[in-house]
Amino acid sequence: MARSRIRIDPSARTHVDAAINRWLDESIGRSILGDAQHLVHKRTGRLRDSLRAEVHDKVLRVGSLDCNYATDVEMGTPRHVILPRNKKALHWPGADHPVAKVNHPGTQPMPYLRPALYQRRTP
């Protein structure tokens, strides 16, 4: 019985890693990003425009770095009290009078990233 010898090219890992990164970026990343942009709640469009997809070392990241409220839209917020930081009272255009605090009822979650991620994707 003859033994076969297989020699694997040492640069094969680099080629495979590059192919995986390309696949994540061009196929999966673009698809998830497109779904997230379609599903996001659009008041001004700032959050939708800030969504990005990037791949580094076979890790795909989709989300926003620019909008500090992206997590609040996805997950919602609990009830909380808003207090003034620099003044003694809060006032905004349309308010009848300044107030010492505001009891915010919280916001309902409006998921856009998780549904985009959980979509079934077939080639």
Torsion sign over Cα 69, 75, 79, 80 = negative
Q: How many CA atoms are closer than 13 Å to the CA of 96, on its beta-carbon side?
A: 0
pLDDT single digits (tens) 13-32: 899 999 999 999 999 999 99
The whole-angstrom separation of Cα 72 and Cα 47 is 11
Element (H, E) at 52: strand 51-56
Name the band, by pLDDT with cuts 50, 70 and 90, for residue 75. Answer: very high
